[in-house]
Amino acid sequence: MSAVFEQIFQVGFLAAIIRIATPLAFATLGEMFSERAGVLNLGIEGIMLLCAMAGFTAASLSGSLWLGVLVAMLVGALMGALHALFTVALGLSQHVCGIGVTLFSSGLAYFLYRLIFGQQSVPPSIDGFKPVPIPLLSDIPVFGPAVFNQFTLVYLAIVAVPLAAFVLYRTPWGLSVRMVGENPRAADSAGVSVMATRFQAVILGGALMGLAGAFLTMAQFNAFTFGVVSGRGWVAIALVVFGRWDPWRSAGAALLFAFVDALQLRMQASGLGHIPYEAFLMLPFIFTIVAMAFMSRNAVAPSALLKPFRREER
Partner 1 sequence: MSAPLIEMRGITKSFGAVKANEAVDLSVAPGEILGLLGENGAGKTTLMNVLFGAYAPDAGDILVEGKPVAIHNSADALAAGIGMVHQHFHLAPRLTVLENLLIGIPGKSGRIDRAGGLSRLKEIGRQYGLSLDPNLPVSALSVGEQQRLEIIKALFRGARLLILDEPTAVLAPSEVDGLFAALRSMAAQGLGIIFISHKLNEVRALTHRCVVLRHGKVAGRVDDPANTTSAAMAELMCGHEIVPPVKEASTPGASVLTLDGISTAGHAGTPLRDVSLFVRAGEILGIAGVSGNGQRALADVISGMLPPKTGAMTIAGKTVAQFSPRELQALGLGRIPEDRMTTGLVTNLPLADSMVLPRIGTEAFSRKGLLNPAAIRAFAEAQIKAYDIRCPGPMVRAGALSGGNLQKALLARELAFDPKVLIVSQPTRGLDIGAARFIHEKFLAMRARGCGIIVIGEDLEELLMLSDRIAVMYEGRLAGTLSGAEATVARLGLMMTGAEGHA
The site for partner 1 (CB under 8 A) is made up of: 170-172, 174-176, 178-179, 182-183, 185-192, 300, 303, 311-312
Nearer to partner 1 by C-beta: 143 or 169? 169
Q: How far is the CB of 98 from partner 1 (least distance, A)?
A: 24
Q: How far is the CB of 28 from partner 1 (least distance, A)?
A: 20
Nearer to partner 1 by C-beta: 177 or 209? 177
Q: How far is the CB of 38 from partner 1 (least distance, A)?
A: 11
Render the burial of 31-45: b for 16+ CB within 10 Å, e for the rest. Answer: bbbbbbbbbbbbbbb
Residues 57, 59: Cα–Cα separation, whole Å:
5
How many other β-carbons are positioned within 10 Å of the β-carbon of residue 136?
9
Q: How far is the CB of 176 from partner 1 (least distance, A)?
A: 7
Nearer to partner 1 by C-beta: 35 or 261? 35
Nearer to partner 1 by C-beta: 278 or 313? 313
Q: How far is the CB of 163 from partner 1 (least distance, A)?
A: 12
User: Distances in Å between the alpha carbon of 124 and those of 52, 131, 225?
Assistant: 14, 21, 10
Nearer to partner 1 by C-beta: 120 or 189? 189
